[in-house]
Amino acid sequence: AQKVTQAQTEISVVEKEDVTLDCVYETRDTTYYLFWYKQPPSGELVFLIRRNSFDEQNEISGRYSWNFQKSTSSFNFTITASQVVDSAVYFCALSEALFSGGGADGLTFGKGTHLIIQP
Amino acid sequence: DSGVTQTPKHLITATGQRVTLRCSPRSGDLSVYWYQQSLDQGLQFLIQYYNGEERAKGNILERFSAQQFPDLHSELNLSSLELGDSALYFCASSATGTSGPTDTQYFGPGTRLTVL
């Protein structure tokens, strides 16, 4: 069975600090997809990034960057120069490939990391 | 705005009752997913429909059922409601065609269900 672990329940930093959110996953499939979603206080779930298991290149999008390491089954998310608007709960999620033959196509979410950016 | 709409935003009902939550996917998306978010269980996948057919099931209770209509909107029916069913219910949609990799799921704003 697939599993996603976000060991950090809550992180609090002061604005402009860099912060890294950890995500460790377990899956038996060789083809899978990893996601990060943001849930601001308003409650909606906002898609941030998708990464497939064959692409280990790190990705940078503005102040956001993602580090995918298959060797350690981790997909960590770093926010550089954090801002108050980054305050939210961040979820890491895993999905096995649609035609892998195993498991549902629904996302398996971690418990989330509540990020608090203090002014 | 993800393009996925859900109604109603809030729903308050009593134990034992039945409710229906509605979801309209993004234009062109064929797959609809339902998720439950509660303090106890976190975010859990319930069920997926693709072009009107049930595609995958997650941790969905027998008291819950869903369907997807020809216009691709979906409804989640929750019956014999219990206090523990109080949660935020999300719908998501993706393109998910008949070939290719899993598409990204875009989430609606959710329906908050309170069972008293």
- pLDDT, one tens digit per residue, over B76-95 is 999 999 999 999 999 999 88
Tell me whether B105 touches chain A (CB under 8 Å): yes
Tell me whether B90 touches chain A (CB under 8 Å): yes
What is the C-alpha to C-alpha distance for residues A87 and A117, in angstroms, rounded to an integer? 5
Residues of A in contact with B36 (CB under 8 A): none
Those residues with Cβ within 8 angstroms of residue B82's Cβ, 6 or more apart along the chain or in another chain:
B15, B115
What is the C-alpha to C-alpha distance for residues A19 and A72, in angstroms, rounded to an integer? 20
Those residues with Cβ within 8 angstroms of residue B36's Cβ, 6 or more apart along the chain or in another chain:
B43, B44, B46, B87, B88, B89, B90
**pLDDT, position A67:** 94
Q: What b/e sequence results for A55-83 when a residue is b if at least 16 CB atoms lie within 10 Å of its CB, and e otherwise?
A: eeeeeeeeebbbbbeeeebbbbbbbeebe
What is the C-alpha to C-alpha distance for residues B109 and B24, in angstroms, rounded to an integer? 11
pLDDT for B42 beyond 90: yes
Those residues with Cβ within 8 angstroms of residue A19's Cβ, 6 or more apart along the chain or in another chain:
A11, A13, A78, A79, A82, A115
* Cα distances (angstroms) measured from residue B23 to each of B59, B67, B110: 19, 10, 9
B43 vs A33, A105, A109: nearest CB: A109
Interface with chain B: mutation pick from A54, A89, A92, A98, highest number of B CBs within 10 Å:
A98
Two structure tokens written together for B42: 């976190």
Distance (Å) from the C-alpha of residue A103 to the closest C-alpha of chain B?
Answer: 8
Percent of chain B surpassing pLDDT 90: 78
Let me know the angle formed at the C-alpha of B30 by A45 and B3, rounded to the nearest 5 degrees: 40
Tell me whether B65 touches chain A (CB under 8 Å): no
What is the C-alpha to C-alpha distance for residues B42 and A109, in angstroms, rounded to an integer? 8
A10 or A60: whose pLDDT is higher?
Answer: A10
State in Å, rounded, how far the first CA of chain B is from the last one: 31
Interface with chain B: mutation pick from A44, A50, A100, highest number of B CBs within 10 Å:
A44
What is the C-alpha to C-alpha distance for residues A39 and A112, in angstroms, rounded to an integer? 9
Mean pLDDT of A87-104: 74
Distance (Å) from the C-alpha of residue A45 to the closest C-alpha of chain B?
Answer: 6
Residues of A in contact with B104 (CB under 8 A): 35, 47, 50
pLDDT for A102 beyond 50: no
pLDDT for A58 beyond 80: yes
pLDDT for B75 beyond 90: yes
At residue A54, φ and ψ (nearest 5 deg) are: -95, -5
The answer to whether the Cβ–Cβ distance between B109 and A97 falls below 8 Å is no
Which residue does chain A place closest to B104, by CA atoms?
A50
Sequence-ordered strand ranges (E) for A15-72: 19-21, 24-26, 32-39, 46-52, 59-61, 64-69
Residues of A in contact with B96 (CB under 8 A): 98, 105
Tell me whether B53 touches chain A (CB under 8 Å): no
